[in-house]
Amino acid sequence: MTQDREGVASMVDSFGDAAVVDRDPRVHRWERRVEWPLAVAATIFLAIYSVQVLVDPQGRVNDALEIVLGITYVLFVIDYLVRLTLADNRLRWFFRHLIDLAIVALPFLRPLRLLRLLVLFSALQKAVGGATRGRVIVYTAFSVALLIYVASLAMLEAERDVAESVIDNFGDAVWWSIATVTTVGYGDLSPVTTVGRVVAVFLMIGGISLVGVVTATLASWVIERVSDEGSANAEVTAAQIDDLRVDMQQRIDALTAELQRLNGGGGSPSAVRPQGDDA
């Protein structure tokens, strides 16, 4: 059973390696070089966007923030164009990355570009070790927190200036995001703008994905525990069989030695004559 699990692991590794090889090598090298600079840019983007939504600065301060925000946004656009240019098959790459195109092309989807922060998971994975389940848990927890925070900011920005909306502060936006991402949906708060409803759709999809990840993680944990117990029982049984085989072999050797001693020393049963046969 242990060998089976090792075989499955090697298959997974080979599939992962194959997936990397299947990717355009030049695009892959570019992504490796810029993932951390883009993560820094995404962090700056998140900080400025948070200040704009929560503080709502005016005048020159807001103009300066808009300039910095525009520069970080241009970096994401350049990243998309470079990857498209480096792709071996540009047409295939274009259709496989339509979401990236939407993120850089549609202004109201710009907050979704903060998902670039997911590259920070590589650093978090080093802290939790090589356990696959540990990586999934860290990935899920961090992505959910980021998704709720960004969705709350986007929802507050879209809804707070609308007279019909009841989401007019960050606390209500966070409450709505948590209720939506967990697929509870109390119905006490709901968006009325188009942008708010688009954010709600993406957040609901994220909630469904979260349920799937948690379910898969739990199933993987149960299967691993059952496999470990089965392997442990098999090892104990094998050890007991080995001990029994050794004990039986020792007994057989002892009996064989005793028979050889009796036969070779004249004390075998055939050499002992009954007392009534002397005549």
User: How confident is the model over 19-59, as pLDDT tens digits?
Assistant: 444 468 888 899 888 877 887 888 888 898 899 889 989 88
Position 218 in a domain: no
Distance CA 36, CA 82 (A): 16
Lowest-pLDDT range of 114-123, 144-153, 191-200: 114-123
- In terms of residue numbers, what domain contains 99? 20-115
pLDDT beyond 90 at 64: yes
- Residues above pLDDT 90, as percent of the chain: 14
| pLDDT tens, residue by residue, 164-214 | 899 999 999 999 999 888 877 777 888 999 888 888 888 888 878 777 777
Question: What's the token pair of residue 178?
Answer: 């948590």
Position 89 in a domain: yes
pLDDT beyond 70 at 146: yes
Task: Give the per-residue pLDDT at 169.
Answer: 92
Higher pLDDT, 276 or 91: 91
Position 77 in a domain: yes
Residue that the structure tokens 């951390």 belong to: 36
Give 199-267 as a DSSP string.
Answer: HHHHHHHHHHHHHHHHHHHHHHHHHHHHHHHHHHHHHHHHHHHHHHHHHHHHHHHHHHHHHHHHHHTT-
From the DSSP assignment, how many helices (H) and strands (E) are in the chain?
A: 9, 0
Task: Give the per-residue pLDDT at 276.
Answer: 47
Lowest-pLDDT range of 44-53, 128-137, 189-198, 224-233: 128-137
**Secondary structure (3-state) at 71:** helix
Question: What is the domain count for the chain?
Answer: 1
Residue that the structure tokens 């005016």 belong to: 58
Of 63, 75, 61, 145, the residue nearest 110 (C-alpha): 75
